[in-house]
Structure 1
Amino acid sequence: MAMPLRQTLRLGRYLAKQKLLRRDKFPLIVELEPLFACNLHCAGCGKVEEPAAMLRQRMPVEQAIAAIEECGAPMVSLAGGEPLMHPQIDEIVRQLLDRDKIVFLCTNALLMPRHIDKFTPHPNFSWMIHLDGMKQRHDESVCHEGGFEGAVEAIKLVKERGFRVMTNTTVFNSDSPQDVIDVLNYLNDDLHVDNMQIAPGYAYWKAPDQNGFLGVEETRALFKEAFADGRRKKWRLNHSPLFLDFLEGKVDFECTPWAIPSYSLKGWQRPCYLLDDGYVSTYRELIEDTDWDAFGRGKDPRCANCMAHCGYEPTAVVATTGSLRETIRAAVA
């Protein structure tokens, strides 16, 4: 099953507007990082390697909202670091919802029981809980024993409270197709999360573990086997069918890094969340002063093995809306 209907309709209207305005670069979703601090030290991340002074900073609510209003994206992914460590994260969420944004709050879930009463269910709000596999695999990934149980209990808690719950699972080269099948079956059939996202491990340069990232051919082989026998159709995956085809190697796309820009305490990150070629203070500078044609597989060696959601899902979404056949396919998937 594909993306939620509300999200699909919102994106469809937004993309139609961009086409009418003849804009060739526009944000679909902003990765908003109001802090770098985190309560975990995950092997595939590196945000907590920032200087101590930066880890103590928290983005003011007004600055966070202004960035989203400046770029005009219809969706916002609140990330970090761990967003629940921001003392005003609930106010950021409320103000974004008041502006009719679709909001995903990305969290490792360990702090959710402490903060859940600050939030109210809303049709445009989802918890996006990080869960990288079953117990042993997840705890190894987040370098924290008990991380899996904490995430599972948090999922149960927020579902009982009436919230929309999604998950994000990053896959590394130590994962087998069966590992992917097991965790998606568990999330889909046992925990009944509303939607799931999957991401090939990307070569994030700050990550403590630089040996666990997948190559392109490894990614394609892994997902081709994991998706076999019609399994991907039964899972409630928050992806377009074309992006899932891309993961399997059935189609290939150019990267569109401008479509999911990243804004943090340092400003707008150029060119994307995974590469750090500096920061600019305004969204306009990011779009107009970045050589977007210089990035992607076959162009920049740092992009050689990247098949990340943040670069290729937007390409798949735009390709879907540009094809009647793919639009119908996405609607009935």
Structure 2
Amino acid sequence: MRLPSFEHPIRLSRPQVLWKLTKAALDRDRPVLVQIVVTRRCNLACGYCYEYDKVSKPVPLAELKARVDALRKLKTVFVTLNGGEPLLHPHIAELVRYIAEAGMVPMINTNGHVLKAPLIKSLNEAGLFGMQLSCDSLEDNDVTEKSMRRLRPKLELLREHARFMVRVNGVLGSGNPAEMEEVAKVVVDFGFDFQCSLMRDSQGQALPLSAEAQQAYRRIRALKGRLPHVLHDNFQLPLARGESKPWKCRAGARHFEVDGAGLVHLCQPRTGFPAKALADYSVEDIRRQFDCGKACAARCPIAYAHLGSRLDGFRRQQNA
């Protein structure tokens, strides 16, 4: 991968991002977080993942820039680059720069396995605000290849070189709960945030945790410095027990996913609707989805869906 050199590095501060978010909170027509698939290709093959393949070519940079332009017109706040494995895209740093220059906040979800110091430095200069990495176990197993054994050297590189925020996410239920607890301790010791996600079924609904996993989750939640309060994952507590959590999901409005073909979907588990081209997605579409309840919400474990909808819990919504 040939890394670009930027003459004038961009650095987004937390107060700047908070101001963007505050303005969005006052305007219900603005997306808070949009995820863009930049490639379906991945360098891993985790058993619970259906969002990757081994053969797809990256989405051409010109098409991705056109999608960023469409999100700028909608006054989107955060743009998260997804895969597959987004760091496999040959122009990932240039795309991050394009998002930042468009006045939005660039983020990346990655397994982190291809990270090297030059790439981290290039992402620094491009204006990356935050990176979320995945780690589910201490060692590879039949379900996941996202192990701490592979990730630890990358965390050391990030601690040394990254000027952007770093958070690690683990899927609780994909392996031994005690291992997940050890993973969380390692991440917090590095000085990074750690977040637990719940395994979900083929419909995107949360799978309840075993008694052992629930105990591990409670201990992980008690770790000092695990997550900033504003990013709390309290919504997962009833889901882990097999219960439902009533809330107002704003998928398709405050947050949505754009697939590799440029079509808008409510979220990763709910692809297929509305499946409308982002270039044609309008404020009217946002208002329609904002006001429409989602039947899948009660057992939804998708963290970004809950975070993207928190601004509007006091606003009305029709029944699903």
Deviation at 1:169, TM superposition (A): 2.0
2:33 and 2:78 in contact (8 A); partners too:
yes
Q: Which structure 2 residues correspond to residues 176-255 of structure 1 after superposition, within 5 A?
A: 178-189=178-189, 191-193=190-192, 195-204=193-202, 214-215=206-207, 217-218=208-209, 226-227=217-218, 231-232=222-223, 234-238=224-228, 240=230, 243-249=232-238, 252-255=246-249
Residues 7, 154 of structure 1: CA spacing in aligned structure 2 closer, same or farther, 3 A cutoff? same
Whether the 8 Å CA contact 1:34–1:79 is kept in 2: the answer is yes
Counterpart of 1:134 in structure 2 is: 138
Gaps of 5+ in 2: 1-11, 240-244, 316-320
Using the alignment, how far apart are the partners of 2:307 and 2:215 within structure 1? 17
What is the identity, as a one-letter code, of the residue corresponding to 2:301?
M
**Structure 1 residue 309 corresponds to structure 2 residue 312:** no
Determine if contact 1:255/1:312 at 8 Å carries over to the other structure.
Answer: yes
1:277 equivalent in alignment to 2:267 = no
- Contact 2:113 2:150 survives alignment (8 Å): yes
The equivalent of 2:258 in structure 1 is 263
Q: Tell me: CA distance 1:143–1:158, structure 2 relative to 1, closer, same or farther (3 Å).
A: closer
Relative to the length of structure 1, the TM-score reads 0.72
Q: Which residue of 2 aligns with 1:89?
A: 92
Task: Say whether residues 1:109 and 2:115 are aligned partners.
Answer: no
> For 1:78, which of 61, 76, 81 is the aligned residue?
81
- Determine the C-alpha separation between the residues in 2 that align with 1:229 and 1:94: 35
CA apart distance, 1:92: 0.5
> In 2, Cα distance between the equivalents of 1:221 and 1:249?
16
Count of residue pairs brought into register by the alignment = 292
**TM-score scaled by length of structure 2:** 0.74
In structure 2, how many angstroms separate the alpha carbons of the residues matched to 1:184 and 1:31? Answer: 25
Could you give the per-residue CA deviations for residues 242-301 of structure 1, whole angstroms, max 9, x where no partner exists?
x522222397423221322111322233222211124211366376458646653xx25x
Matched residue SS, 2:40: coil
Distance 1:103 1:261, change over 3 A: same
Indicate conservation of the 8 Å contact 1:30/1:260, yes or no: yes
Query: What secondary structure is seen at the aligned counterpart in 2 of 1:58?
Result: coil
Q: Structure 1: any 5+ residue segments left out of the alignment?
A: 323-333
Aligned to 2:39: 35
Distance 1:157 1:102, change over 3 A: same
Cα distance change, pair 228–82 in 1 and its aligned pair in 2 (3 A): closer
Match in the other structure for 1:148: 148
Match of 1:14 in 2: 21
Question: Residues 133 and 179 of structure 1: is their aligned pair in 2 closer, same or farther, counting only changes over 3 Å?
Answer: same
Cα deviation, 1:66-119, whole Å, max 9, x if unaligned, reads 233133221121111111111111100112222343222222111112744533
Kept in 1: contact 2:264–2:277 (CA 8 A): no
Are residues 78 and 176 of structure 1, via their aligned partners in 2, closer, same or farther at CA, if it must alter by over 3 Å?
Answer: same
Contact 1:159 1:165 survives alignment (8 Å) = no
Deviations 1:131-169 (A, max 9, x none): 123234xx544347xx53332111111221143352332
Q: Deviation of residue 11 (structure 1)?
A: 4.3
Which has the bigger relative contact order, CA under 8 A and spacing at least 6? 1
Change in Cα spacing, 1:188 to 1:228, as seen in structure 2 (3 Å) is: closer
Would you tell me which structure has more helix in proportion to its own residues? 1
> What root-mean-square deviation, in Å, do the aligned CA atoms of Structure 1 and Structure 2 show?
3.7
State the alpha-carbon separation in 2 of the partners of residues 56 and 124 from structure 1: 23
Aligned counterparts of 1:140 and 1:286: Cα–Cα separation in 2: 43
